[in-house]
Amino acid sequence: MSDELDILVIEDELVVQEAADRVLRLEGLGVDRAMDSESAVDMVRRNVYKVILSDLMLPGASGFDIIELIKTARPAAQVIVITGYATLENAIKSFQLGVFDFIPKPFDFGELLGVVRRALRYHELVLAGSVPSPLQADPAQELYALGQHTWALLDPEGSATLGVAETFPNQMGEVNSVELPDIDGYTTQGRCFVRIHSADDAVYRVLAPLSGQIMALNNRVREESELLSSDPYGDGWLVRIIPENLEEELCNLTHR
């Protein structure tokens, strides 16, 4: 599709719009902007965008309505939700609507870049029809995913292993370092628990699919980051936790 445009930013706050615009243009991306839901709907109808960044709180309409509209009108477009702190819960729920990822305000240059790059790459995969299906090592384990990129494997003993989907490393450039949480720390569903810094200045925030107490870290991925892509559901796992609120949180995940 030659008339495909890069990015649409739907955001009522001017400074956030400008920041996104500036960062993304620097990447050489074309950016359109919409201030309210009406013009947003209008632009989505008229143009085809690869990636759409949208605030959930917009004057005139609920952000969910716009996401639904985008996903039905333009299924290939990847939606990234910009959230204020207050809409974090809602953002997690919006994964059910097929949202690619979300980025909480305030974000820095690298964080925005990271998520947009990944979305663009995923978009390419979608267009090429080559989205890989999960390579599950042990079929006895239940696999749940949060959005497109993180997963949780439920062990029969009650613990859960968290990691990134095989698509995730593909969407990143060369990995510089993997920032794992503290052992004894906690994960909270929808909050970043691992940061992956790439060679090209982008920061990839990995969101925890489940909340719980961390009982083990896979330190191997610090040295051998290629494990993330070569064996994401096996040796490439990130942390193992004891889930805290499993039943409720599973509702926000998709069963694979």
Partner 1 sequence: MKSRIGLQLILAVAAVSLTVFGLLSNFLINSQHRSLVTQMEQHAEQITETIKRSTRYAMLRNRRDDVHQIIDAIGEQEEFTKVRIFNKEGEIIYSPDRSALGTMVDKRAEACYACHEADSPLERLSTSRRTRSYTDSEGRPNLGIINPIYNEPNCSSADCHAHPTSQSVLGVLDVTMSLDKIQQQMAANRRKAILLTALAIFSTSAIILLLHQQLVGKPVRQLLQATEKVADGDLTHRIEVKRNNELGKLQTSFNEMTRGLSEAQNQLYQSDKMASVGRLAAGIAHEINNPLTGVLSFSSLLLKNATDNSELRADLEIIVRETKRCREIVKGLLDFSRQIPPRKTRVNLNKTVKRALDIVDHQLAVKNIAVTTTMKEDLPSARLDSNQIVHVLINLLVNAADAIGPRGGEIFVSTDLEEIEGNQMVEVKVADTGCGIPLSEQNKIFEPFFSTKEGKGTGLGLAVVWGIINEHNGSISVTSQPERGSTFTILLPTNGRMELSEKSHDHERRA
Where along the sequence are the contacts to partner 1 (CB under 8 A)? 13, 15-16, 18-20, 22-23, 26, 84-86, 88-89, 105-110, 112, 184-186, 188, 201, 211, 213, 244-245, 248-249
| Closest distance of CB 195 from partner 1, Å | 13
User: Closest CB to partner 1 among 24 and 153?
Assistant: 24
Judged by beta carbon, residue 55 or residue 166, the one nearer partner 1 is: 55
- Distance in Å, CB of 246 to partner 1, minimum: 8
Q: What is the DSSP string of 135-174?
A: --S-TTSEEEEETTTEEEEE-TTS-EEEEE-THHHHHS-S
Cis peptide before 209 (omega within 30 of 0): no
CA distance 141 to 1: 40
Dig out the tokens for 199 from the structure: 């060679």
**Residue 13 or 179 having the CB closest to partner 1:** 13
Q: Which is nearer to partner 1, 71 or 93 (CB)?
A: 93
Kindly tell me which of 16 and 29 has the beta carbon lying closer to partner 1: 16
- Least spacing, CB of residue 194 vs partner 1, in Å: 17
Q: Which is nearer to partner 1, 103 or 221 (CB)?
A: 103
φ/ψ of residue 6, rounded to 5: -75, -70
Question: Residue 7 and residue 92: Cα distance in Å, rounded?
Answer: 22
Contact present, 103 and 81 (Cβ < 8 Å): yes
Smallest separation, CB 201 to partner 1 (Å): 6
> Min. distance of Cβ 13 from partner 1 in angstroms?
4
Q: Whole-angstrom Cα distance, residue 172 to residue 108? A: 17
Distances (CA, A) of 198 to 109, 117, 162, 175, 205: 13, 11, 20, 4, 11
Alpha-carbon torsion 113, 32, 84, 92, what sign? negative
Q: Residue 170: is it exposed, middle or buried by C-beta count within 10 angstroms (0-12/13-18/19+)?
A: middle
Q: How many Å separate Cα 75 from the centre of its chain? A: 16
Closest separation in Å from C-beta 2 to partner 1: 30
**Residue placing its CB nearer to partner 1 in the complex, 64 or 186:** 186
- Min. distance of Cβ 148 from partner 1 in angstroms? 24
